[in-house]
Amino acid sequence: MSFVLKYLKQYKVKAFLAPLFKMLEAIFELLVPLVMASIINKGIASSDTHYILRMSGVLLLLAVVGLIFSITAQYFSAYVAVFTAAEIRRDLFAKIMSLSQGVKESIGEEVLTTRITNDINQIQNAINMVLRLFLRSPFIVAGAIVMAFVVDVKSAFVFVLVVALLSIIVYFIMRYTLPRYKAIAAKLEKVLHAVSENLEGSRVLRAFCQVDEEKESFEIKTGELAMMQIGTGKVSALLNPVTYVVVNLGIVFLIYVAMHRVDNGFILQGDVVALVNYMSQILIELIKLANLIVLLMKAFPSADRVQELMEMKSDERSLVKLNDNLIICGSDAPEQISIKNVSFSYNGTADMDLEDINLEIPAGSTLGIIGGTGSGKSTLLKLLNHTYDVTKGSIEIGGTNVNQFDDSYLAKCFGIVPQKAYLFSGTVRSNMEMAGTNPDDDEIKSALNIAQAIDFVEAKEGGIDTEVKGRGSNFSGGQRQRLTIARALIGQPKYLLLDDSASALDLATEAKLKKALMNLSWHPTLIIVSQRASSVIEADQILVLDDGKCVGLGNHDKLIKDCETYQEIYYCQYPREEAANE
């Protein structure tokens, strides 16, 4: 939780004022039993109505001033907690966005979601309560003991006994529950992972009639989480009743001791009332302190998890900022891409997902990449735009290694259409503006026209300002794909990477799209990944992958003669009779 302190420094004045006003409130609260004792010993004992009314006014004044201080302290503590949590959440979000795809995949989407929501909420609550109670409650407890010694030394030893006993109880409860709260957080992340998987794969589960099995599996996970929470909660819940029992027994013992002190004339009846009030104050504050400790036991593991993520290495890739002398594109024209002896493994083991790929992609040419599922097609694209670093070999653009370019520079050079079409909530216009080039209406409509999306966009009432719901759920799969293609075209990127981006399109629309892409006015280097032979048949060269290895490279005519894998793919889609007639 130490990293939270650097955020608190920004609000150190308010963070100081919050406990200060709480301490002032506590001082007034500690004076109340003495005023009550004075009313009993002097006013009531001597039937002095004027004195009773005057001291009652003092009690009222203490209450009003204490209330003002309390409200002020709560304002400052809430302000610091909310704004500190907002700063942490902002920085954590920026940290998550800076992580490479590989790191984010290794951590897990549900873990990142939990840490930026639930964990930071726990930190926020802890900051708020610490500023309000962490100094006030111990101060009240210590102050009540001191005031008890002022009233009567022998009776005050009961206070010391009660506080010592409760400290031992709190220690053992914390020792038991703290590691279990960490385990609960880990199990919660597993439950969230299951929820995420089931929501995304709900159609698949229904298609394979696995809904009941997933329900049973989910019930087991949530049952384990519930049992651990219940078990830990039972022990944690002992704090309040145990505190009540110990303090109330302490009050009984205190009255017993004080009774003999009154009989012997050492103290007055009002002093007994004051001692009981001080014991009651200790009871209330220890209950608050116990609840604060429970909150801190939940917050500390949350803070550790957030700090772990904040201190995580930003990227496992080689990143070198683009310097002034490293400019590969003096013009808008693309440069040649060279793939030299490239091998890659996702998990860093000797088992390669791509192995010994060699390829030259001339500037402005079209490359088709084809192969079976899991052959490494999408992986190669991720290496080209430096989503991942190659394990062996190198990828060069215009003779310069791709890992020497800043990500923001590569983002301007590459227009990427991912395998899974993804739109963000907003409008069609806001999705098109994600390229950061501030396109005008004409540029957006031109990109939509090339992507064969202009017709259905203009058919909607809002046109390019049509609302896009989360993940583009108000568009069909084919419409989402065409919109993501249009988004990639904004800014006229020098390299256009299409990762199976026409899989949801009918053949007629795909043919129109392919023709439009082949005739782009700025002539980008076009790299098309597909499992359809029709999508790559006209490419200048076609790379055929099988199990991460290059098994064929050339144009269609060459591969249909020499490459068995390409022949198998092609003739599966075009029977030999049809192929012969073409």
Does 481 lie in the same domain as 561?
yes
pLDDT, tens digit (0-9, with 9 covering 90-100), for 186-213 = 788 788 778 878 877 887 888 888 888 8
Does 344 lie in the same domain as 433?
yes
- Domain for residue 328, yes or no? no
Does 210 lie in the same domain as 148?
yes
Does 508 lie in the same domain as 385?
yes
336 touches 362 (CB < 8 A): yes
Whole-number pLDDT of residue 317 = 53
The total number of structural domains in the chain stands at 2
**Alpha carbon distance 128, 134 (integer Å):** 10
Mean pLDDT of 234-247: 81
Give the distance from CA 199 to its chain's centroid: 18
**Residue 108 pLDDT more than 80?**
no
- Domain for residue 51, yes or no? yes
Report the interhelical angle of 120-129 vs 269-310 (nearest 10°): 150
Does 368 lie in the same domain as 272?
no
Whole-number pLDDT of residue 324 = 40
Does 475 lie in the same domain as 522?
yes
67, two tokens:
């209330």
- Domain for residue 316, yes or no? no
Does 15 lie in the same domain as 72?
yes
**Alpha carbon distance 239, 217 (integer Å):** 34
Does 369 lie in the same domain as 226?
no
**Residue 321 pLDDT more than 80?**
no
Does 258 lie in the same domain as 389?
no
pLDDT, averaged across the chain? 85
- Domain for residue 255, yes or no? yes
Among 512, 565, 570, which residue's Cα sits nearest to residue 536? Answer: 570
278 Cβ contact list (under 8 Å, min separation 6): 30, 33, 144, 145, 147, 148, 151, 159
Confidence of residue 578 (pLDDT cuts 50, 70, 90): low
**Residue 575 pLDDT more than 50?**
yes
**Residue 408 pLDDT more than 80?**
no
Confidence of residue 582 (pLDDT cuts 50, 70, 90): low
AA identity, residue 73 = A
pLDDT, tens digit (0-9, with 9 covering 90-100), for 422-445 = 899 999 999 999 877 788 999 999
Whole-number pLDDT of residue 329 = 44
Does 274 lie in the same domain as 364?
no
Q: In terms of residue numbers, what domain contains 383?
A: 337-581
215, two tokens:
């329900």
**Alpha carbon distance 341, 470 (integer Å):** 41
**Residue 311 pLDDT more than 70?**
yes
**Residue 374 pLDDT more than 90?**
no
- Domain for residue 329, yes or no? no
Q: What is the CATH number of the domain that holds 171?
A: 1.20.1560.10
485 touches 417 (CB < 8 A): yes
Mean pLDDT of 284-301: 79
3-state secondary structure of 314: coil
Confidence of residue 247 (pLDDT cuts 50, 70, 90): confident
Whole-number pLDDT of residue 326 = 44
- Domain for residue 516, yes or no? yes
Does 352 lie in the same domain as 304?
no
75 touches 25 (CB < 8 A): no
**Alpha carbon distance 220, 248 (integer Å):** 42
Residues of the chain with pLDDT > 70, as a percent, come to: 95
377 touches 503 (CB < 8 A): no
Mean pLDDT of 26-50: 82
**Residue 360 pLDDT more than 90?**
yes
Q: What is the CATH number of the domain that holds 392?
A: 3.40.50.300
Residues of the chain with pLDDT > 90, as a percent, come to: 30
pLDDT, tens digit (0-9, with 9 covering 90-100), for 141-186 = 888 888 888 888 888 888 888 888 888 887 888 788 878 877 887 7
CA distances from 328 to 258, 380, 401, 524 (A): 90, 22, 11, 15
231-240, 316-325, 461-470, 553-562, range with the lowest pLDDT = 316-325
Does 383 lie in the same domain as 285?
no
Strand partners, 343: 392
- Domain for residue 327, yes or no? no
**Residue 483 pLDDT more than 90?**
yes
Higher-pLDDT residue of 199, 400: 400
Q: How many CB atoms lie within 10 A of CB 143?
A: 21
**Residue 294 pLDDT more than 80?**
no
Q: What is the DSSP letter of 315?
A: -
- Domain for residue 331, yes or no? no
